[in-house]
Amino acid sequence: MSDSQSGLNESHQRRLLSALQYVDKLLSEMEAVLAASFSKSPFPKYVVNFTPAQERVVRDYIARARSQMLRAVAGLGLYVPGPQFEAIHALRVHLSFIRVALQEASPKDLAGYGPVPPELIPELNGFSTELQNLMESLNVFLAQSPGRDLADRLDRLAVTGDHVVLLKKLERIVSEYGFVEFRSALAHIVDRLSAPRFEIAVFGQVSSGKSSLLNAITGLDVLPVGVNPVTSVPTRLTYGPPSAIVSFASGQEKIYDLAEIGEFVTEDCNSGNTKGVARIVVSMLSDRLSEGIVFVDTPGLGSLATAGAAETKAYLPECDLGLVLINASATLSPEDVQLIHTLYLDGIPALILLSKSDLIGPADRDRAVQYIRGHVRTQLGIDVPVYPVSVLPSCREIMEAWFDAEIEPLYSRYRELGTTAVKRKIGVLRDSVEAALSAKLDGSTATNVSQADLEAAEKALRSVAGQISETEKKCYELTDDLRNIGPEVAIEQAELELARISAQIASSRIAETVREALKALAAEQAAAVHQCLVGLAQDLSEAMRKAGQVLHETNGLEPDKFAATFRELPQIDLSRVDVKVERPGIVLFARRIFLYRAKRQLKTQATEIEAAFTSYARLLQAWARSSLKKITEIFESHAGPERAQLERLMARTTVSPEMRLRIAADLAGIHTPDATDGDAHSTCETSARMM
């Protein structure tokens, strides 16, 4: 910094600027005191004892002082540095400090100031969880680029129609009334409208032939196939230059060659989705992949490993048509029936495909089709189309008949079908926004629900949210216990089982007996983890049910909604544990010799046994973490709007006549999508003038 035009040296300038910056800081703090009159902080610092007229005068003086400072700085020729920090970055830094503050207010940290009553721990954890989830949603919003603003994105949409008009109304209402709990649902719908597509997902048990079917449809052997589970996350197939775009949970996105897909979609290479893959989009130049039509390969429902089934169930909201693949030589499993029922409840059309139909003759195919249709009709009371398919070139006509009848017509109608799916989602959002507006309108006059009931429902949601962190802690403890099971304990368990069998048993049966004993030991611990999640899901559902009763809502959160996320438990891999014991030649001491040799063989397998249990503990922990994340997401998606509704009703805020008219106009407007926003507001203003 050089000497200024007024003759002040560098030290003079710095001291003067420092004084002026300090004065401006104090003026900003004075503005903050004035802003307290508008603040809704639950912890007010000041008693507001000035009148609106006084406030205006003080602000005028502050503005005059700043104006004079600027003129003085300009007259003295002082250099004033520009802004040094981005506002959004500063806000996100503050959110980080908020997260730290909430974490340090946990029951564990509070215990340092004295014992925390056990009955208050869930509520303390719950309030911290609620606020952290809210702040994280804000952080995600701030992390978006300016072009991701919902209103701007809606204005840039190429599609039009009544549903878009309605969506714009809903976006305006959400923004104007501060209904932040609906922003994520809005963003999801806008995403679908911005990139219109019709997603056809293939579901089925492990080895039912999902990947083989999609390879046959596209005419390209891109997806890996095999006996073991080969899809750990949903994989989308789209038309475009050959590539695989892999998005990770960390936010990174990388492009790979098609030959590298197996590194991310197979259980062998990505067991339990340990690589944190969030999304895979495979592009290929196939005549069967038309623009706008997307095929999705989902993890097997019967997978013995990882959270593949959880990933499949979590994908369901994005599905527009479900293809349930069933082995033609097998029968419908309970999981198949449950999936078809889930698709039906979510309003997703479904088809049943009998894979490997080449294994049975034409007459048997017809009988299988009729049997499956009848079974579904009996079990669920719905009629689902059933088609035989085969990927063999010699039986190509079987698949072509199904494709031409059901899929080919979609290519010309996918925009219409995609619009129908979006309209369904907008309808659900409209109902939720309508309930929020009604609560705001009736909050000051509602007498059918007592304040005590509202407070009890809110407290129940907060307490049950606190159980999530406790369940996570318990699951980690159980998986750690599994990791700590030493080979000695496992060997002792296997020895007890071997003592029950005959010395003349076949060598292969001995190895099987050992593996079964070790599996039982691992399954006992896994069952405890599973039960933790089941108990949590039941408590979450019950809290939501009670909140729904208080709010007089009928669309509660059923336990089955959670159960789908953690049904498939991973199983321990004991393929490396192989105990072979030769039959003793001396009959007199056969049993004693047999047990001696078996124990000696078991000890040689100690390293493999320990490695298997350590690996399984990691796998089970990843499964529990993934399942718990899905459970939390489902709960928060329902509990967020419920909390907001309870808060509005508890506030009992008096609504002015003008605001009541405005809300009434908005309620009417979202049920008349052909009417413009201007019409609704002009009606509101006209009514206000008539009062």
Strand arrangement of the beta sheet that strand 235-239 belongs to? 253-256, 243-248, 277-284, 235-239, 293-297, 198-204, 321-327, 350-355, 386-388
| Phi, psi (deg, nearest 5) at residue 281 | -120, 115
Please give the residue that has the higher pLDDT: either 495 or 338.
338
Work out the end-to-end distance of the chain between its first and last CA atoms, rounded to an integer number of angstroms.
64
Instruction: Kindly report the pTM of this predicted structure.
Output: 0.54
Among 511-515, 544-548, 595-599, name the one with the lowest average pLDDT: 595-599
pLDDT tens per residue, range 554-612:
555 555 567 656 656 777 777 776 666 555 555 545 556 566 666 676 677 777 777 77
Does 678 have pLDDT greater than 50? no
- What pLDDT shows up at residue 596? 65
The confidence score (pLDDT) of residue 585 equals: 52
Res. 495: pLDDT tops 70: no
- Summarised one tens digit per residue, pLDDT across range 196-254 is 677 888 888 776 778 888 888 888 878 877 544 444 577 888 888 888 888 876 667 78
For residue 223, the number of C-alpha atoms closer than 13 Å in the C-beta half-sphere is 33
Strand partners for 235: 280, 297
Q: How far, CA to CA in Å, does 310 sit from each of 70, 203, 302, 340, 479? A: 61, 13, 11, 16, 19
Which residue carries 């109304």 as its tokens? Answer: 169
pLDDT at 436 over 50: yes
Q: How far is CA 75 from CA 11, 68, 79, in A?
A: 18, 10, 11
**10 Å Cβ neighbour count for 587?**
10
Lowest mean pLDDT among 227-241, 281-295, 388-402, 542-556: 227-241
Mean pLDDT comparison of 82-91, 113-122, 435-444, 483-492, highest-scoring range: 113-122
Q: Which residues make beta-bridge pairs with 325?
A: 204, 353
Range ranked top by mean pLDDT from 57-66, 302-311, 515-524: 57-66
In which band, very low, low, confident or very high, does the pLDDT at 307 lie, cut at 50, 70 and 90? very low
User: How does pLDDT run across 417-428, given as a tens digit for each residue?
Assistant: 667 777 777 887
Average pLDDT, stretch 319-348? Answer: 78
How many Cα atoms within 13 Å fall on the side-chain side of residue 15? 5
| The pLDDT value given to residue 467 | 87
Identify the bridge partners of residue 352 per DSSP, sorted by sequence position: 324, 386
Q: Please tell me which of 20-29, 70-79, 250-259, 305-314 the model is most confident about, judged by mean pLDDT.
A: 20-29
Domain borders along the chain are: 10-82, 197-391, 451-651
State whether residue 178 is helix, strand or coil. Answer: coil
Tell me how long the chain is: 691
> For position 686, what pLDDT does the model report?
31
| Paired strand residues for 387 | 353
Per-residue confidence (pLDDT) for residue 687, from 0 to 100: 32
pLDDT at 308: 42
In angstroms, the CA 228 to CA 237 distance is: 21
Q: Identify the pLDDT of residue 27.
A: 92
Confidence class of residue 390 from pLDDT cuts 50, 70 and 90? confident
Cβ atoms 159, 196 nearer than 8 A? yes
- State the pLDDT at residue 329: 73
CATH code at 197-391: 3.40.50.300
Looking at the DSSP assignment, which residues form a beta bridge with residue 246? Answer: 254, 280
Residue 503: pLDDT band with limits 50, 70, 90: very low
Residue given tokens 């936010």 in the structure block: 251
Token pair in block for residue 400: 């072509």
- Average pLDDT rounded to a whole number, residues 66-94: 81
pLDDT at 148: 58
Distances (CA, A) of 404 to 389, 399, 531: 12, 9, 46
What pLDDT is recorded for position 662? 87
Mean pLDDT (the chain) is 76
Confidence class for position 412, pLDDT limits 50, 70, 90: low
> For residue 307, what are the contacts with CB-CB under 8 A and spacing of at least 6?
272, 273, 566, 568, 570, 622, 623, 626, 627, 630
d(CA 614, CA 609): 9
* Cα–Cα distance, 456 to 319 (Å, whole number): 37
407-411, 429-433, 462-466: range with lowest mean pLDDT: 407-411
